[in-house]
Structures are given as C-alpha cells and as structure tokens.
Amino acid sequence: MKTKKLALFAAGLAAAAIGLRMVGCGSARSGRTTAAEKVYVAPGELDKYYAFLSGGQSGSVFVVGIPSCRILREIPIFEPRAAYGYAVHDGDPRRAELAATGGLWGDTHHPVLSEKNGVYDGRYLWINDLSNGRLGRVRLDTFETDRILKIPNLQGAHGIAAVSPDTKYIVVNGEFEQPTDGLVTNPAPYTSVVAFVDPEKMEVKFEVRVAGNIDIADTSKDGRYAFSTVYNLEQGKEQNSMMVFDRDAVAAIDIPAAEKAVAEGRGEIRNGIPILDPAEVPGIMTLIPVPKNPHGVNVTPDGKYVMASGKLSPTVTIIDTKTLKIVAEPEVGLGPLHTTFDDRGNAFTSLFLDSQVVKWNVQKAVKGAPDYIVDRINIHYNIGHLQAVGGETMHPYGDYLLALNKLSKDQYLPVGPDMPEAQELIDISGEKMRMLASFPTPPEPHDAVFIEAKILAPKVKQVFTPGPEAIAAGQESVVRTGPHEVTVKMTMTRSAYTPDHFEVREGDRVTFQLTNVETIRDMIHGFALPDHDLNVALPPGYTKTITVDAGKPGVYWYYCTNFCSALHLEMRGRMLVQPRDSNVAIPDWKAAQNVKGPVQGVPSTGAAR
C-alpha cells in the first residue's frame, strides 16, 4: 500500500517536472467559441492587430498578425538581411552605420511605439541593442529601419520606454556599469546611466547617473517621471558582492527637474553629453526601496501606480506615482517578472518559476482585500515578458494577451539541440483567462508591442514618388565619368533591366543608380550581382545608388531577387568585365552613351579607344 502511494506520488512529481502541460491543455471548447475559432482568420481576411516581437539575438523585429499568430515579416535592424536587401553592401548607409557603431549584429529586447496623447500614433518603433549599446528606429510607414544611434557613456542598453504622453524622449537604461571616471587604470566605483534620447533627431540630450545596474524602464503617463528598476545597489562587480543588501530600488527620475539642471549647466560633459549625478544635483532622482533584484516596472493605464515585479520575491510592489510611496506589496506567485493591464482594472503578472500568468485586481490589492487574485493560467513554459494589447497605453483593449516564453520543451517537433522558443496567445476578455494558441518564432521572443491594424495599415506606404535622383525610362545610360569610374543609370520594370548589358574594365569602380519605375504596389524588384556581395531591393518609385569594384574579368549576370512576374526568371542582364590589359574594344551600349574616355595607366594595347 505504502509502495503504491509512493508510486502515485512519484508519478505526480514527474508530471509536475515536465511542466504543467496536463493541466494547461484542457477545454479548447469552453465558452461560446472554440479557441480555434478565436484565432482563425479566414484566407483573405485581415488580422485586427499588428504585433511587433523583438527578435533577440536575431537583431530584428518580427511582425505577427493577431489573433491569427501568422508571421507577416521580419524587420532587420542590427543585422544585414539579404532577403530584404538590407545593409548587405558597403554602399548601404545602414551598413556603414552598423559597422561604425559596434557591429553587424545586435540583441534586441524591448520594442516601443511612438505615442500622441497617450495612445500609439503609428509613426515609429524603437528597439534597443543590448550588446552594442544602441537604439534603432523603424519607420512604420515603410517598415524599414531609418536610424541607428550609438549611445555614448553607456554599455548594455537594456530597458527602454517612450516618455508619455507625446514621446518627448526615448529613455534607454544602461545595464552594464562602468567606472564613473571613465578610466580603467585606477577605476572609480562603477555606475550606469539612463539616457534621454530625442526621438526625432535621434540624439542623446542628457544622461542621469545611477549607482547600480539599471534594468527595465517605464514612464509616468503625465511625462513627469522615468521609472527604472535598479539592482546591485551594492555596486559589486561579482555576483556575491551584488547580493549583500536586503533591498534594491525603483529609481524615479524627475524629468522636468533634470531638464532644468541641464539648462543650468550642472551636468558634467562627457563625449558631448551632459551627465547629471543625483549625488551632486539633489532632487532629480528618488530611490524607492523594493525587494532585492526587481525586474519589470510597469505603470497602470490610469497613471496612478507604478509596480515593480519582485523576481526573487513572490510580490509586486505597488508605488503611488504622485507620492512615490509604496502603497501595497501583494503576493502573486513565484518569480514575478512583468505586469500588464486590461481595461477593467486588472493586472496580469508573468510568473517565471510557476510558469503561470496570474490575473489580479489592482484596487483590491491596494485596499488589502484578501480576494485580489482573480485567476491563474498555466504557461508552457517559464514565461518572461507578457503584453496585453494596449497594456502600455492609457487605453488597453482588454482582449488578448501574449505570453513570451523562455522554454517550450515538448510543445514542438525537435529541431536539433535548440528547442523552438514560443509565444502563447491568451484570451483575456472574460473573467477567466483562456489559452488560444501557441506559435514558435526564430530566436528569440523577448517582448512585444501591439498596434491596432486600422491605425497603422492606412499609413503604410507601398508606392513611392520618384525623387530627383530617379532615372526615368528612356534616360538610362552607361557613362565613363573618370579614368577608372563608370556610372550605370539603370531602370527596372517587369521584366527587364535597361540596360540589359554593359562592359567595364578590371580596376573600374562601377556606380549603379537604380530606379524601379513601376507604379503599382507590391511590384518590388531586386538587383543581385553575383560575386560582388550585392543585393538590394527596390519598391516601386525607389532609387538606390551603390558603388562596387568591377572585380575579376568575367561575365556577371545581375538578376531580380524579388518574384515579379511570369518572366521573373528572365529578368536579368550582364556586366562584362574586360581584363585590365585587354585589347578588346569596349562597345557602346547605346550610340549616344558610351564608356569611352582616356584610361590612365593602361597599356597602349589596352582597351582605351
């Protein structure tokens, strides 16, 4: 008997050990509609929301339709992507920016959207690169990265937030502390900075020094405070020495007070940026003690409270945003990491260790009512971030919540040593949460932000007005502009390049000025040149100018990489590179336009004509 009981107990433990799958996967048919019906978007129908998922070590952002969970595209930010002709070639200004600011890779964690009057206006998305201390900006009318900013005096750009309600700044937290005096020979105590970035100009306006590691960021809804969780107030450099104190803190930076101090010249200028030290400028920062190693920090939609998730403590610390005093510290479960909100006064906190989302009522918790916990749902597994649609704005939608999970284990087919990472979509429209769907994405789902499709979709540009640099049909040419320089002015339309061939010499620098002269949407043409590390994509109306070395003598077929028509495969042309000392005459591409001209340093038997 005793043995049987032990066996049952062991079986129960085993079930718990493989996660909580048996509990979490029940009743897809509870409620009026099935879970499948809730996420089914019929072919030809459109999703209600865009979700922007950070790509983690992919250095990008993944765009997903919600509720269908269909991946719509990837926006490369910190890594070149040949598939989108992004930063592939030296002539692409994004590639030059990436190379100059830390490298052709990144680690994106926290996407934030531009706001107007406390709601998303669909202009920009910003995301951090933790690894190289950068901030990337994506234009949401084109879904393209338009700026990369290296943040001076800061390492480990981690938590970021838009300053509500009108995106006055993007706040960027430096997680990896640095010697305060900037030296390594006789290092001073290590500190970090919070950077305040002008979102339009993409330049740092000022920084505030914090004695500790600055983690996640959010801002008050009135623009007064930037809140950050801070750990390692001990300023230790190894883990043991970081775990001495009983509590760490939420830092509340008073933005107007900091701006005034900067205007009065009270900042130390380093690398052109004023750095304010709260020890020398009292009143610009308040440290609010919270349980050790807090993680997420989130402001309620009504702006009344900011809450820090305990991580090591099973509590969420609720702080009044006016008085900066702690008003409650409710227990929610093991490993609370982040909190998001619906439109009915409820908070949802991710529990990393419990692998759960817990729903709880904010006012009941503040009042100390015992029944503040509303519901719990099992997650598969070890949830990190979570986001409810609109949960970061003043007007949450209260319908869907995305759980971004660190481990998926038994949820998908094995794909090598690395299991797919996953998200789970949860229906939060009712009193009880309901699991709807899970879907994997390439590494690594970390955080997400949503915008309603009807706000953004009408603003997305698909056909562009040709700029002054555009080449019009009939204006194509191949012209020698110097002894070793050739400019090729080329147009592309279904299904041909004009010119479809031209000749240059070994040693030439060839500048392509490429215009896609199409005028209808989704008629993108690519221009790939084998063995020249070159692939660009051009939407209708776009012009791109790129210079390459002609390379070794030979015939190089440039071809279209973006499927465009039944004759897509035939959309190609030849660049013929004559040997440097060739005595073969280079023929004119067109009688009026040619590659004639003196070629210095070429033997008399050479190709100069």
CB atoms within 10 A of CB 187: 13
Question: Judged by CB under 5 A, which stretch of 194-202, 457-465, 555-563, 599-607 contacts Cu ion?
Answer: 555-563
Q: Does 514 bind Cu ion (CB under 5 A)?
A: no
CA–CA dist 135, 127 (Å, integer): 6
Nearest residue (CB) to Cu ion, 40 versus 563: 563
299 vs 560 by CB, closer to Cu ion:
560
- b (16+ CB within 10 A) / e for 553-568: eeebebbbbbebeeeb
Residue 157 or 560: the one with the smaller Cβ distance to Cu ion is: 560
Q: 326 has which bridge partners?
A: 319
Of 6-14, 255-263, 433-441, 558-566, which part binds Cu ion (CB under 5 A)?
Answer: 558-566
Report the distance separating Cα 258 and Cα 278, nearest Å: 9
* Least distance between Cu ion and beta carbon 522 (Å): 11
Site for Cu ion (CB under 5 A): which residue of 66, 77, 351, 560?
Answer: 560
Q: Please identify, among the stretches 104-112, 147-155, 434-442, 553-561, the one whose residues bind Cu ion according to the rule CB under 5 A.
A: 553-561
Give me the 299-338 binding string for Cu ion, x by CB under 5 A, dash otherwise.
----------------------------------------
Quick one: 351 or 560, whose CB is closer to Cu ion?
560
Residue numbers 355-374 binding Cu ion by CB under 5 A: none
**Nearest approach, Cβ of residue 492 and Cu ion (Å):** 7
| DSSP conformation class of 267 | S
Q: How far is the CB of 568 from Cu ion (least distance, A)?
A: 5
Q: Select the residue interacting with Cu ion from 194, 195, 242, 564 (CB under 5 A).
A: 564
Q: How many residues bind Cu ion (CB under 5 A)?
A: 4
| Interface positions, 117-146, toward Cu ion (CB under 5 A) | none
Shortest separation between residue 525's beta carbon and Cu ion, angstroms: 4
CB of 129 to Cu ion, least distance (A): 33
Give least dist CB 560 to Cu ion, A.
3
Looking at residue 19, its amino acid is G
Q: Which two tokens stand for residue 400?
A: 């869907």
- Largest distance between two CA atoms of the chain: 103
Least distance in angstroms from the C-beta of 554 to Cu ion: 23
Nearer to Cu ion, 351 or 564 (CB): 564
For residues 86 and 120, which CB has a smaller minimum distance to Cu ion in the complex?
86
Strand partners, 155: 176
Cβ proximity to Cu ion: between 383 and 571 the closer is 571
Shortest separation between residue 161's beta carbon and Cu ion, angstroms: 41
Q: How many CB atoms lie within 10 A of CB 135?
A: 25
Contact 98, 77 (CB under 8 A): no
Cβ proximity to Cu ion: between 123 and 525 the closer is 525
- Residue 64 interacts with Cu ion (CB under 5 A): yes or no: no
Does the protein bind Cu ion through residue 571 (CB under 5 A)?
Answer: yes
20-53: string of b/e by CB count within 10 Å (b at 16+)? beeebeeeeeeeeeebeebbeeeeeeebbbbbbb
Would you call 574 helix, strand, or coil by DSSP? strand
Question: In the bound complex, what is the minimum distance in angstroms from residue 521's beta carbon to Cu ion?
Answer: 14
Q: What share of the chain is helix, strand, coil (3-state, %, to 5)?
A: 10, 45, 45
CA-nearest of 217, 208, 319 to 260 is 208
By CB under 5 A, the residues from 518 to 537 that bind Cu ion are 525
Beta-carbon count within 10 A of 394 CB = 17
Nearer to Cu ion, 88 or 564 (CB): 564
**Inter-CA distances, 273 with 134, 270, 281, 477, Å:** 15, 5, 16, 47
Cα separation, 23 vs 594, in Å, equals 74
List residues bridging with 491 in a β-sheet: 498, 515
Smaller CB distance to Cu ion: residue 293 or 493? 493
Name which of 521 and 596 has its Cβ closer to Cu ion.
Answer: 521
* Minimum CB–partner distance for residue 493 and Cu ion (Å): 8
Answer for the pair 194, 210: CB distance below 8 angstroms, yes or no. Answer: yes
248 is written with which tokens?
């760490």
CB 514 within 8 A of CB 527: yes
Nearest approach in angstroms of CB 571 to Cu ion is: 5
CB-CB neighbours of 318 under 10 Å? 21
Task: Give the pair of three-digit tokens for residue 266.
Answer: 């009270």
Looking at 55-63, 119-127, 403-411, 566-574, which segment touches Cu ion (CB under 5 A)?
A: 566-574
Which residues sit at the interface with Cu ion, rule CB under 5 A? Answer: 525, 560, 564, 571
